[in-house]
Chains A and B, each alone.
Chain A
Amino acid sequence: MAAEEGQVISCHTVEAWNEQLQKGNDSKKLIVVDFTASWCGPCRFIAPVLAELAKKYPGVTFLKVDVDELKTVAQDWAVEAMPTFVFLKEGKIVDRVVGAKKEELLQTITKHVATTSA
């Protein structure tokens, strides 16, 4: 969806989540999933950073999942600490960044964007 490009897409239902995953897998785009929680301080700190990255990398799909909202998803994906960023490509987990680590997040995105376009 062109309207969603450049934005972080919040998934509030398992259906919406599955739909986004399927879309990302079909398009072979890099997907970055931000697992967050409402009262997690570092999550709030990193949120504007992620929004900036989404603007900067319109070719990457950025998804946001609240672990209390989509409990089963958090469980299936073995999310323990928040924020956790999971990097996906064609349905496979290619990387994981745990914690509000701005630099590491940026580096991991550029690494996988480079391999996607290569």
Chain B
Amino acid sequence: MNLQASSFAVGIPSFSSPFRRHRNFPVFRAQVEPSEKSVEIMRKFSEQYARKSGTYFCADKGVTSVVIKGLADHKDALGAPLCPCRHYDDKAAEAGQGFWNCPCVPMRERKECHCMLFLTPDNDFAGSEQTITMDEIKSATENM
């Protein structure tokens, strides 16, 4: 677990100069891309769960794509799709506890997904689709 914790401390520098980070940290990584396998698993899960819960993806599929990749990233790193829209003091402990593993308890109980992955039809941001392709995810996140 220590290894994991230290890798998170390094963070995901989306905008900072790689040179500066190089100097400050012995281990560095660029924006981490989740594995394609995990993205596909979370993509399928999202489609199935949207249908099952009667919810829809955001009209802006960029939001959907980023969240699916975030879930995949946590699945790779922690073994569980921990919600990427929350901050945790200890991600590994949180993933073990399960409350915020997708679909989280607020989603299962009240259809509340503040990540905007699963939106009820009355939500202003809800689109009309319950499907998303791998190509849509790729093109929506290629310039991140």
The interface of chain A, by Cβ under 8 A from chain B, is 10, 12-13, 35, 37-45, 66-71, 74-75, 79-82, 99-100
Contact = CB atoms under 8 A, between A and B. Distances in A.
A79 B116 contact: no
B8 A68 contact: yes
B87 A66 contact: no
B16 A81 contact: no
B90 to A, nearest CB: 10
Contact of B15 (A12, A71, A81): A12
A79 B89 CA distance: 10
Interface of B: 8-9, 11-16, 20, 24, 31, 58, 60, 62-67, 69-71, 73, 84-87, 89, 114-117, 144
Contacts of A37: 70, 84-85, 87
Chain A interface, >50% SS class: loop
A97 to B, nearest CB: 13
Contact of A40 (B16, B60, B64, B70): B70
Given A39-B73, A69-B13, A71-B8, A44 B63 contact: yes
Nearest to A71: B9
